[in-house]
Copies of this chain bind each other. A is one copy, B any other.
Amino acid sequence: MIKVGIIGAGRIGHVHGESISKFVKNATVKMIADPFMNEKTEAWAKSIGVEKTTKDYKEILNDPEIEAVLICASTDQHSPLSIEALKAGKHVFCEKPIDHDVEKIKEVLAVVKASGKKYQVGFNRRFDHNFRAIRKAVEAGKVGKQQIIKITSRDPELPPISYVKVSGGIFLDMTIHDFDMVRYLSGAEVEEVYAEGSITVDPAIGEAGDVDTAVITLKLTNGATAVIDNCRACCYGYDQRAEVFGDKGCVAISNDSDSNAVYSSKDGVTAEKPMFFFLERYMAAYATEVDEFVEAIVNDTETPVTARDGLEPVLIGLAAAKSVKEHRPVKIDEIRKEYNL
């Protein structure tokens, strides 16, 4: 039984706390740290069996019983906390992205390597039943030689503009999951990106220097072309679809709903909307990702989403942003060279 500490008790910290207590067989949460720790959070922590809460994350790092740390703090804290935790001898599960700054990610990668500790990035969709069904079909050879990969990923509603400003932009904040999915589903790397960005939802996003709608074309090392379409707002909910098309077949996934009930009336034949957003849609995946992280520690195997898996989508995201800015296709190697990778 692995004892873990959670740094950051915001929304995603709560998700991990709850799901570890319920579903993760070989782990318990011993401590939760948050600079804004309050009575409500303390009560919640107690209710899920957490021994201790603190405002100082260093208490977690200093606790010799705690073997692993989940970093659920704000994005700018991901890389420094990763490094500090690794150096304190902890295995680290870090929410995505590791950082917006490639130099900082490189530092994390170096420390991971030096530490010999497990490191996993929170790309939750890799653990979802639908996306896994595609991957399984691809691995089983049912798709054959890959030709076209399509991902639709639309969020139900705009985040606050204040968030957009610190998000790193749509490509590092939202599309980063889709970039990871392209790599995961295909098992190949991205060579080049062309991104078309536009403002169709809210001009304030444009004023903040970002786009809210994007269509991104990616050339892969296996010869396939991938295309992602994103929108920050979607009136019918969280639209999460994907397909991989090859010379032996095409495997496609569609949205999940709360029930499969269909209502027929004089107005048409109506099914339920997709589940509202990522917490509803990927709840089970959040549990599975931590469960597999813990198993990687217990069995001393590679984590299912490595530090390098955390780096690559950031490089693709930077290429996409550059593509929009310079209105041309951008090779990932251009970005790699910028950072001596």
A114 within 8 A of B: no
A93 interface hit (Cβ, 8 Å): no
Instruction: Decide yes or no: A196 and B217 within 8 Å by CB, A137-B261, A249-B265, A329-B327 being known contacts.
Output: yes
Chain A interface SS verdict (over half):
mixed
Closest residue of chain B to A195 (Cβ to Cβ) is B217
Task: Please give the distance in Å from A314's CB to the nearest CB on chain B.
Answer: 22
A residues 316-333 with Cβ under 8 Å of B?
327-329
- A221-243 CB mask vs B (1 if < 8 Å, else 0) is 00111010101011110010000
Knowing A142-B265, A213-B148, A225-B196 are in contact, say whether A235-B248 is a contact too (CB < 8 A): yes
- Beyond A142-B265, A327-B329, list 14 extra A-B contacts (CB 8 Å): A142-B263, A147-B213, A148-B213, A148-B229, A198-B219, A198-B224, A217-B217, A235-B265, A236-B249, A249-B266, A253-B262, A255-B260, A256-B260, A257-B269
Q: A200-B224, A260-B254 are contacts. A272–B265 as well, Cβ < 8 Å?
A: no
Kindly state whether residue A119 has any CB partner on chain B within 8 Å.
no
A268 CB to closest chain B CB (Å) equals: 4
Q: A145 CB to closest chain B CB, in angstroms?
A: 7
